Amino acid sequence: MPLSTGPDLFHWRGWRVLSLLLVAALFLAPALWNGYPLIYYDTEDYVEMSFTWQPIIWRIMTYGAFTWIGHPFGTLWAVAWAQALIGAWIMHEAVWAWVARYRPQVYVLMGVIVALFTGLPWVVSQILADMFAGFAILGLAVLAFGDNLSRPRRLALVPLVAVGICLHMSHVAVAAGLLIAMTGLRLLSRLSLRLPRPRLLLPTLTVALGTAAVPGLHWAVTGQAFFTQSGQVLQLALFVQDGLAKKYLDEVCPNGATFKMCAHKEGLPYTADEFLWGDSAFDDLGGWKAMHDEAGAIVSGAIKTFPADVARAMARNTITQIDLIGSGEDLVPMSWHFVKTVLKRYPRDFRSFRFAMQQRAEGIDFTLINQIQVPVAQAAQVALFGLLVVAWRRRDRISAGLLVTVILAIIGNAVVCGALSNPHDRYQNRLVWLALFACSVAAIRLDQRFTRRKSVPPI
């Protein structure tokens, strides 16, 4: 019997609110267990920017602006809860959009599945923009393929997803790539009724807003509109790691090139992180600002001189990035690193931060977690392709659209973060949970018992 009026409707909506809060709590379970939101190396910079509004050359300012949420409450818990509630709401709308026989139990079950078998809660619990990488993609998929979701609710998702896109440049790049792919799908769908047919208006508006927000905020704060000031240097660091920088310098330095790096080419480190953050010649060369132009010249010169080597390195790094999906990278004790910031900016948090599980000498052991979650994620990524074949045969264009979106996002993120930045577990771990989520939704949709529509209460 449909729940539609009076006390029954209130009861039904009450269960929806409770289910939303429960899923948000599941997403924050690691922070609740830890006793404090998880702190990463980058957290300090973003928190400081939210107070000083001074740009840091190797960061964009948008996530710093997001962490301002903690100011009125005097605690970073406000930022963590905001992240959890945003993620829980986007997942709520996704389940509503794609599962015909919606009940709060189905939504909670999806929350339990991703909380237990993926690293998503460990990402949401960090004071870091990473959690928005996956939820921005999920939100775009809902806007493009969410047939069961009313237009007002799709419109309500636009600002949330746009915020998720603007908080990191890699999110902007992946979202823009997905929009291009969706446009191609829309054109190809004219050739076959089996192909997904995405809506484009709201995804286009969302990506445009999210992209424009980055230079817009920088212009409002600094008077200069820019996306990032560190892209050239980050690419140079990757070329150092891949040996391409030294190969190019070996080619041009003996012929009179005036690069400052010529004097240091024999002592370049083996990794990008060592080059940027370790004991290398980078600081002696002038650091981020002084090396910006030279970095761009070396990168463009290496691409022109050794295009095949660059292409092979990009392909290798992309494959490496796809395989790096473990949880917990660099979630080490931060007492030495973040302590001054928390004392100065959030003094009421100091005791909770200092005695959190993360700050113990042994830190947090992710061995067992990864022994369970990494094989699940690998299996889910393979299952995406199998379910896509089934969806194609059953002419379920909605399931096919979701599966294709997640597949392209996983590959696109690996290209952006692996081939154009530097492969790390946290880059792929932050969105690989989408594979299990998409497989679960597609499996429910492809089960004919759930594809029969059922009356639902008014929204």
Indicate the helix (H) or strand (E) that contains 114: helix 104-117
- Tell which residue, 84, 86, 45, 89, has the closest CA to residue 65: 45
- Straight-line distance from the first to the last Cα atom of the chain, in angstroms, rounded to the nearest whole number: 17
pTM score? 0.91
Q: Look-up: residue for tokens 């473990």?
A: 326
Lowest-confidence pick of 12-21, 207-216, 243-252: 12-21
- Tell which residue, 22, 20, 21, 27, has the closest CA to residue 125: 27
Cα dihedral: 191, 197, 202, 207 (round 10): -80
Q: Which residues pair with 126 in a beta bridge?
A: 38
Distance CA 192, CA 28 (A): 43
Mean pLDDT over 336-350 rounds to 92
Share of the chain above pLDDT 70, in %: 94
Mean pLDDT over 50-65 rounds to 93
**Burial class of residue 376 (count of CB atoms within 10 Å of its CB; 0-12, 13-18, 19+):** middle
Distance CA 344, CA 310 (A): 45
Distance CA 231, CA 421 (A): 9
Secondary structure of residue 126 in the 3-state scheme? strand
pLDDT at 276: 86
Secondary structure of residue 38 in the 3-state scheme? strand
Distance CA 391, CA 402 (A): 10
Mean pLDDT over 47-63 rounds to 93
Concatenated DSSP letters for 203-227? HHHHHHHHHHHHHHHHHHHHS---S
pLDDT tens profile 189-241:
888 878 889 999 999 999 999 999 999 999 999 999 988 888 888 888 999 99
Task: Compute φ and ψ for 38, nearest 5 degrees.
Answer: -75, 140
Buried b / exposed e along 85-113 (16+ C-beta atoms within 10 A): bbbbbbbbbbbbbbbeebbbebbbebbeb
> Is the model more confident about 445 or about 160?
160
pLDDT at 450: 47
- Tell which residue, 129, 169, 119, 26, has the closest CA to residue 327: 119
**Burial class of residue 223 (count of CB atoms within 10 Å of its CB; 0-12, 13-18, 19+):** exposed
pLDDT tens profile 74-88:
999 999 999 999 999
Single-letter amino acid code for the residue at 317? N
